[in-house]
Amino acid sequence: MKLAVYGSRHQEDYIPAIADFLLCLKDRGDSVVMHAKLYQYLLHAVPAALACVTRVTDTPDFDADFAVSLGGDGTFLRTAAWVGDKEIPVVGVNTGHLGFLASIGVDELAGLPARLADGDYELDRRSLIEVTVPDYKGWPYALNEVTLTKSESSSMIHVHAGIDGVELADYRADGLIVATPTGSTAYNMSVGGPIVQPSAPVFVLSPIAAHSLSMRPLVVADTSRLDLACEGRAPRYRLTVDGRATVLGLDTPVSLAKAPFCVVAVQMRGHNFADTLRNKLQWG
């Protein structure tokens, strides 16, 4: 079995568990492709545990049976970007705080290789948003959300939204979030947007601090194309794609649509969306 391992470099409390995991992979004869930043971090902390690592890279030019994300939800998003469009199944191991995207806790890490080899999991296909912007330089896909926000704190912006070539709304607000079902429990939830089952074929539009009570979160089919344009007093606005921010000129349009590939999330048996909501949000 070949694993691609990505992780946060803030793992001081979990170094022994990570080292045991890597040593287990070595004993099993499994091989590991590891992200360069994590490798350098572990090289100083537990160099003996890296014997299973056969390749170190920070680019998506690799293949693997599974990718393992060690960290919180932000780490999972970065792991998905590292994997790219290969649809390698990603296992989220939560060493962060809330962890909606994690399939298991760090206390279950030692048993992960055997469970993967035994097929003790299910695959959950998560949709992404593809972002089309003139001269955009970054990874143009969002697993959680795309946001358009004001670049200065003093004034709101107007986000003109169209859907499939038809005018939809003029959002006068501090910004607008377009979230996937996966991202519905992230920034979208914090501004009062709905929580959506991950398998639902929809996107959610949620204004940030709307200046009109009639501006409400809206759920649309993920087959829709959304065209967004901004107006405001400031000459720029901020486009953020899963936390990766770019400042654009006010006259720069943005088009959003469903990406042609998915992120394949590994859900270990015994973990499901309902349990995650109940446990993370303390519903009972």
Task: Of 54-58, 262-266, 271-275, give the lowest mean pLDDT range.
Answer: 271-275
- Catalytic residue check, 13: no
- Asked whether the beta carbons of 116 and 91 are under 8 A apart, the reply is yes
Q: What is the mean pLDDT of residues 78-91?
A: 97
CA distance 172 to 82: 35
DSSP assignment string, 196-257:
--TT--EEEEEEES-SSTT---EEEETT--EEEEEEESSSEEEEEETTEEEEEETT--EEEE
Share of the chain above pLDDT 70, in %: 99
Closest CA to 216 of 160, 186, 173, 164: 173
Closest CA to 100 of 217, 218, 189: 189
- pLDDT tens digits, one per residue of 159-175: 999 999 999 999 999 99
Q: What is the mean pLDDT of residues 186-214?
A: 95
What's the predicted TM-score (pTM) here?
A: 0.94
CA distance 44 to 54: 18
Out of 13, 61, 73, 222, pick the active-site residue: 73
pLDDT of residue 40: 95
Closest CA to 28 of 10, 6, 47, 2: 2
124 strand-pairing partners: 265
